[in-house]
Chain A
Amino acid sequence: AQKVTQAQTEISVVEKEDVTLDCVYETRDTTYYLFWYKQPPSGELVFLIRRNSFDEQNEISGRYSWNFQKSTSSFNFTITASQVVDSAVYFCALSEAKGGSYIPTFGRGTSLIVHP
């Protein structure tokens, strides 16, 4: 069975600080997908990234970066120079690829509060 752990329930930082959100996963499959989503206070869900298990290259998108470490089963998300607009709940998710379809398992989320 697949499992996703986001051990940090809440993180509080001051603007311009860098912050890393941890995500540790468990799966028996060799083929799987990892995701990050953002849910701002307004409640909508925003897709941030999808990564498959064969692609261990780190990814950078503006102030966002993701570090995928298969050896430690982690897919951590770093926000550089955080801003108040980054305040949100962030979810990590994992889905095993079975026959081309998949059912994601989500972590419980990390609430990030960025103070001005």
Chain B
Amino acid sequence: EAQVTQNPRYLITVTGKKLTVTCSQNMNHEYMSWYRQDPGLGLRQIYYSMNVEVTDKGDVPEGYKVSRKEKRNFPLILESPSPNQTSLYFCASSRGTLKTDTQYFGPGTRLTVL
């Protein structure tokens, strides 16, 4: 089954404690991205990756890091989380950017930083 998995689904942590949210897709997709969703601010892209070892900043990259060492994985790293990073995070992947390239989303990770 084609899917994007994210772990953990829920996480409560404290300020400054490094964490990683994993994202993995089984469709051999080249394009992957991370979004955060906040009430009143909507969805915003954090980082994206066009292929292995190719990553680029989205709209709101501050406080986040990503890596793309393998095609299937695109982890989101918060080196020193702060309360303003409390949010709902989505990972997404697609084969490319053509009209016919469906974008698949993970189930979301709800992060709370105390």
Q: Which A residues between 72 and 107 are near B, CB-CB below 8 angstroms?
A: 91, 93, 97, 100-107
> A106–B101 contact, CB under 8 A?
no
A-B contacts, 12 listed (Cβ < 8 Å): A44-B105, A45-B90, A45-B92, A45-B105, A47-B104, A47-B105, A50-B97, A52-B99, A91-B42, A103-B45, A103-B58, A107-B42
How distant is the Cα of A46 from the Cα of B48 in the complex, in angstroms?
18
Question: How many A-B residue contacts, CB cutoff 8 Å?
Answer: 49
Q: Does B59 contact A (CB under 8 A)?
A: yes
Q: Which secondary structure dominates chain A's binding surface?
A: strand
Q: Does B65 contact A (CB under 8 A)?
A: no
Q: Give the bracket for the number of chain A residues in contact with chain B.
A: 20 to 34
Seen from chain A, the residues whose Cβ lies within 8 Å of a Cβ on chain B are 33, 35, 43-47, 50-52, 55, 91, 93, 97, 100-109
Q: Does B102 contact A (CB under 8 A)?
A: yes
Q: Does B103 contact A (CB under 8 A)?
A: yes
